[in-house]
Amino acid sequence: MSRHYLSLILLTAAFILSACSPSPKPGEAYADYGQEDEITLLAYDALLNQDYTQAQGYFDDLFAHTGYPLYLQELLRVLFFQKKYDDVILRAGTFLQTQRDTGINLVLIEALKQQKRYDEAMAEADKLLKNDPGESVYLVAADIYFLAGKHKESIAYYKEAYEINPSDYSVDKIAEILYLYLKNPEEAIRYYETHVRFHGCTQYLCQRMASLYAKEGNIDGVISAYRRIYDEEENELIGRKVIDLYLLKNDQEGLQAFLEKSRLDDVMLLRLLKHNRRYIEAAVVALRLYQSSGEIDYLAQHTMFRFESGNQKDKKLINETISNLRSVVKESNSHVYLNYLGYLLIDYDIDVKGGIELVNRALEQDKGNISYLDSLAWGYYKQKHYQKAYDVIKKVKNTLDDPVVREHYNTIKKRYDAVKNNK
């Protein structure tokens, strides 16, 4: 509802009421409740329109006629808005000499705070606590002591408020004072952590925790705080911060676990799994990327990772792998896929000649690649072209770290030597 619309309703009600009974003059007793309601509506309408002078007059008149503390409280609020703090202190103090009212006492305390009369404000707060030991009053007292620079006393009151209601505000103020003023970061962190363990972590509070951890150089703590936010809200911006922090820490295991759970960046996850030779998981992620993007490279990677992690004697797996890669090389001329398919055709004696053709196409793009030269030599060996096979495989003689290449070299060399010696 707009302010102007509400004002219209209030004024309409006021006109209706005024038709029923004449408005009283200042100092005259109200003839009935209708007159009081009329003035009340006009007072709040003036307040809504920020006409503080008019509102002050109405509330002053209402209190004078009725003696109700609520009207005085509203009058004090209007005076406070106008920064007439001396008037607030005088009017509230006079009333509180003979009566008690928490609302009026709180406005008085705020006015004293504005004038930095902290000792008087503290005295009023302590008197109020004797009659109304609630959370809000403890917080008021805590704020006064904090402004007065009495941090130990302030934290004691914040702790009392926290015992009544373990709010984010109270625990944050406790941690702030412990960290900044009492120089006790360990206890500040403990307060945060204990609160979060029992009451959860809002984005505001976790951000504050993360800031404190960052100041202490505790990256694990920062990650923990941001992960709590992400687990609650799945905010992508927060998730990206978590990823950056894992990268900064070089925590591949933690990063992998987060990426697997959040699925924020499957491309990064695939690279990570591939780097760590986690081929079973890599196959799953590559397939997911292929299904979402349709990019043929992901189908190729899914196929190769599945084969590398599977039973390579399983004819069904072999046939599915070759079938998928045939589809891949129809769309992609990548030398990686050409060689992979070519080697399978050669090694399983499915189409040695076709395999050699594919490997040669791969070598046209990467002539000195050891794996491709090994595939070509193995193809010639399968065709019983031992001289050609040896001429190719001897080019990789000085780089036999790969056990498969080393085995091929030894097999080809043995057969080549045997044929040569029998001539």
Per 3-state DSSP, what percentage of the chain is helix, strand, and coil (rounded to 5)? 80, 0, 20
**Rounded Cα gap, residues 398 and 401, in angstroms:** 9
> Residue 210 has what pLDDT?
93
pLDDT in tens, 281-319: 999 999 999 999 999 999 999 999 999 999 999 999 999
> Residue 22 has what pLDDT?
44
Q: Is residue 423 very low, low, confident or very high in pLDDT (cuts 50, 70, 90)?
A: low
CB 140 within 8 A of CB 106: yes
Mean pLDDT of 357-383: 95
Q: Under 8 Å CB-to-CB from 126, ≥6 apart: which residues? A: 141
From 276, 279, 274, 239, select the one nearest 259 (Cα to Cα): 239
In this predicted structure, the answer to whether residue 422 has a pLDDT above a threshold of 80 is: no
> Residue 34 has what pLDDT?
62
In this predicted structure, the answer to whether residue 329 has a pLDDT above a threshold of 70 is: yes
Residue position matching structure tokens 């998981």: 281
Mean pLDDT of 228-238: 90
> Residue 298 has what pLDDT?
96
Instruction: Walk me through the domains of the chain, giving residue ranges and CATH numbers.
Output: 1-82 (no CATH), 353-423 (1.25.40)
**Rounded Cα gap, residues 392 and 147, in angstroms:** 84
Rounded CA Rg of the chain? 40
Q: Is 277 helix (H, G, I), strand (E, B) or coil?
A: coil
CB 335 within 8 A of CB 316: no
Q: Which two tokens stand for residue 334?
A: 């990548």
In this predicted structure, the answer to whether residue 12 has a pLDDT above a threshold of 50 is: no
The backbone torsions φ and ψ at residue 243, rounded to the nearest 5 degrees and listed phi first, read: -60, -45
> Residue 387 has what pLDDT?
95
CB 287 within 8 A of CB 269: no
What proportion of the chain, given as a percentage, has pLDDT over 90?
75
Of 10-14, 39-43, 61-65, which range is least confident? Answer: 10-14
Element holding 269 (H helix, E strand): helix 266-275
Q: Is 158 helix (H, G, I), strand (E, B) or coil?
A: helix
Of 24-38, 102-116, 205-219, 254-268, which range is least confident? Answer: 24-38
In this predicted structure, the answer to whether residue 24 has a pLDDT above a threshold of 90 is: no
In this predicted structure, the answer to whether residue 66 has a pLDDT above a threshold of 90 is: no
Q: Under 8 Å CB-to-CB from 68, ≥6 apart: which residues? A: 62
In this predicted structure, the answer to whether residue 17 has a pLDDT above a threshold of 60 is: no
> Residue 25 has what pLDDT?
43
From 310, 341, 298, 296, select the one nearest 323 (Cα to Cα): 341
Among 20-24, 28-32, 285-289, the range with the most confident prediction by mean pLDDT is 285-289
pLDDT in tens, 74-117: 999 999 999 999 999 999 999 999 998 889 999 999 999 999 99
For the chain, the average pLDDT equals 89
In this predicted structure, the answer to whether residue 178 has a pLDDT above a threshold of 50 is: yes
pTM, two decimal places: 0.68
**Rounded Cα gap, residues 249 and 219, in angstroms:** 7
Burial class for 87, CB neighbours closer than 10 Å (0-12, 13-18, 19+): middle
